[in-house]
Amino acid sequence: MENLYFFVVLALGLLAISDLVVGVANDAVNFLNSAVGSKAASLRVIMIIASAGVLVGSTFSTGMMEIARKGIFNPGMFSFSEVMIIFIAVMVTDIILLDVFNTLGLPTSTTVSIVFELLGASVGVAIVLAGNNPDLPPLSAYINSANVLAIVSGILLSIVVAFTAGSIIQYITRIIFSFNYDGTFRYLGAIWGGIAITAITYFIIIKGAKGSAFMTTGAVEWLMNNSAKLILFSLIGWSAILQLLRSFFRINILKVIVLVGTFALAMAFAGNDLVNFIGVPLAGYEAFKLWTASGADPAALEMSGLAGALRTPPVFLILSGSVMVLALWFSKKARSVTQTEINLSRQDEGIERFESTGFSRLLVRQGVGFSRSLKFILPDRVLNWIDTRFDQTESNRIQKESGSKFDLLRASVNLTVASALIAVGTSYKLPLSTTYVTFMVAMATALADRSWGRESAVYRISGVVTVVLGWFVTALAAFTISFLAALFLQKTGIWGIAILLPLVAGIIVVNFFSHRRREARAATTEKSFALSKATPEDHLNECQNFLISNVILISGLFDKSIIGLIREERKKLRAVRKSVAEMNAEFKRRKDTVHVFLKKTNDDHVEAGAFYVQIFDYLREAGHSMTYLTGPIFSHVENNHTPLSLNQQKELRGLSLEFNEYSNFVIYVLKSGNFDEIKGMISKQTTFLDAIEEVKKKQLSRIKKGDSGTKAGILYLNILNESKNLALHIGNVVKSYRDFSNDMAK
């Protein structure tokens, strides 16, 4: 039996490593967002500083480990075997949940997930216990409901406070310094820097000293008792140091603030959230030691020993910090989550990932109405002066040259406000979600900075709402999945772990490939948008390659649709329909970014811009034809309607071959750039269209004779009509590309 539970503890250890990896992938956005978005330094330097913060912060988690052992449930009410079931259910759920969010590129709270996972698993086990023995205490005796309520309240409150504080402080800061802050910074920069780094320093002391495994009790008490003096001396000292650095070494004060803040938030992440990843496995290890020392029956030994004060061995903390650093450097999903937040808060235009919703449109209308009402309240002179403080002409030029998403001033406010709020929350022993605080501060400063203009506000707000709703989904999913996992393990015993672990591995593998596909699509779109700095020839070549690859894709999907219909292959048709939807989404993104090219065109290529727009108009129409063709085909097979007759199958197969020949000729014209061959392409197109008309006559004749079923007949005519439209749209794409290419060659 001891060997069996030893393997359970070993499984918890392996799950802890996996959880550290997926956890860092989601939480890296908290401390990388400001530095990466503002280009405060090279990515390598930012990563080194963040890694140092993670390693230092990993030694500060000892005091927070209690949340995993006794913060949510009363361990004395459960036996050793039951506690191990709770811990396994929690870890399995946490890995699955965080990996799903990472795959989607959405930041969520590891604190909320661990709290509700512990709650769900312990409730599941307690319900089974109560069902087996009605004389046991009520459910409330098993759960620390007061702790749960305090944790949830503190986290929800932090959302409101973070957004309010971030927007107000950013607005005031921008009014003081404006977007052209170089002049003002000569006089006030050192003072602002002193305030910012002092707040960050206080944050490091409060956040780090209390839980550090390497700080003595006396040292911690001295720091706490003398915090006011430390703040005062820090303010004076940092202001003086920053002024000297600026005056004699021409060092950018804001870069110093951002990099120091990045270190501090990375440290806070490791100190605050490390418990979410290894707290449960360490609690399982402590429970295992208590059981082996007692020699009792695992189903009878109560785990009241977990309620005592336990100190985590520093070696575990350092090893965990090392795993997090490696994950930080090599996790591609971490970059996806970071990119989501940066794109929502960026100052410039770009590809909007989220679609508008009714709620976001309502908020924007309300905001526009409020802005108009201010014109009747404040004098024009005041409003005009405020507008000058938000003049972004020079800032936009600098951003375009540096490639930053927002300026260093906003990045410094992000880090300062987030650090201050987390420090205050920690001083009151509230297990704040660093994700919630940093995300809401970043969104608030973007709003105050007028980043959400009329062109982008509805999409940005939709994105923020999606992320926030995802936080509530996190809580619900964490509770539900861990609850079900605990019930499953209660029924199957420890052997159920052998089922859950491969399940987790399978989900991670599926998510890996899903994320890779998402990244490939995003990279293609970003490449198109990045051509804003490219030459007209680069646009021409990129457009040519894009058209060739998608004509090949359309031809393949068309053929698969016809074959899938003939053979009634429902799964293949579902995959085709999904591919068509993804293709159309890409076409839409490309059309939404045509303004990038239009801004680059000079007076000699004005008509080229019109042809460029026309290319993607026709390409979208071709995509729509594919949608109207593949959708009804899948619906026909899905609903088990009467299959096509042998004559219909033979005719469609012939049309598919004709379309393939036509598509190959289109690809040849695009690749060669020999537009004299368009006559040959038109000839192929005419042959295909004539074949459609001939087949259509045969079908109408069958309908008159009553030889064709109603559903199959309607579908058949729809296929013929959409095939005709598809061929015409593709031909128009090539003609527009010809005109575009000829105009660019002038």
For 87, the 3-state DSSP assignment is helix
Map out the domains of the chain as residue ranges.
Answer: 2-519, 534-744
Helical (H) or strand (E) element with 364: helix 358-377
Beta-bridge mates of residue 73: 143
pLDDT, residue 719, reads 93
pLDDT, residue 602, reads 59
Model pTM score? 0.76
Percent of the chain with pLDDT over 90: 20
Query: Rounded to whole angstroms, how far apart are CA atoms 587 and 313?
Result: 55
Q: What percent of the chain is helix, strand and coil (3-state, nearest 5)?
A: 85, 0, 15
pLDDT, residue 207, reads 55
Query: Rounded to whole angstroms, how far apart are CA atoms 578 and 561?
Result: 12
- Residue 406 is classified by DSSP as S
The one-letter amino acid at 602: N
Query: Rounded to whole angstroms, how far apart are CA atoms 365 and 371?
Result: 10
The half-sphere exposure of 664 on its side-chain side, counting CA atoms within 13 A, is 7
69's CB contacts (< 8 A; 6+ apart) are 75, 279, 283, 286, 306, 307, 310
Query: Rounded to whole angstroms, how far apart are CA atoms 692 and 104?
Result: 43
557's CB contacts (< 8 A; 6+ apart) are 576, 579, 580, 583, 626, 630
Structure tokens at 588: 């839409």
The half-sphere exposure of 14 on its side-chain side, counting CA atoms within 13 A, is 12
pLDDT, residue 566, reads 92
pLDDT, residue 663, reads 94
Task: Report the helix count and the strand count for the chain, using DSSP H and E.
Answer: 26, 0
State the CB neighbour count (10 A cutoff) for residue 510. Answer: 13
Query: Rounded to whole angstroms, how far apart are CA atoms 351 and 516?
Result: 19
User: For the segment 319-329, what is each residue's pLDDT rounded down to a tens digit?
Assistant: 888 888 888 88
The one-letter amino acid at 623: G
User: For the segment 576-632, what is each residue's pLDDT rounded down to a tens digit?
Assistant: 999 999 899 888 878 777 766 666 655 555 677 778 888 989 999 999 999 999 999
What count of residues does the chain have? 746
324 closest CA partner among 12, 97, 38, 61: 61
For 552-615, give the secondary structure using H, E and C. Answer: HHHHHHHHHHHHHHHHCCHHHHHHHHHHHHHHHHHHHHHHHCHHHHHHHCCHHHHHHHHHHHHH
473's CB contacts (< 8 A; 6+ apart) are none
Q: What residues in the chain have per-residue pLDDT under 50?
A: 63-65, 68-70, 531-533
State the CB neighbour count (10 A cutoff) for residue 704. Answer: 9
591 closest CA partner among 566, 621, 561, 562: 621
User: For the segment 717-728, what is each residue's pLDDT rounded down to a tens digit?
Assistant: 999 999 999 999
User: For the segment 116-149, what is each residue's pLDDT rounded down to a tens digit?
Assistant: 888 888 888 888 877 767 666 666 667 776 677 7
User: For the segment 488-522, what is each residue's pLDDT rounded down to a tens digit?
Assistant: 998 887 778 888 888 888 888 888 888 777 777 66
pLDDT, residue 433, reads 74
Query: Which residue in the block uniquely carries the two structure tokens 């109603």?
Result: 710
The dihedrals phi and psi of 79, each to the nearest 5 degrees, come to: -85, 170
For 300, the 3-state DSSP assignment is coil
Residue 708, phi-psi category: left (phi > 0), alpha (psi -120 to 50), beta (remainder): beta
> Which CATH architecture describes the domain 534-744?
Up-down Bundle (1.20)
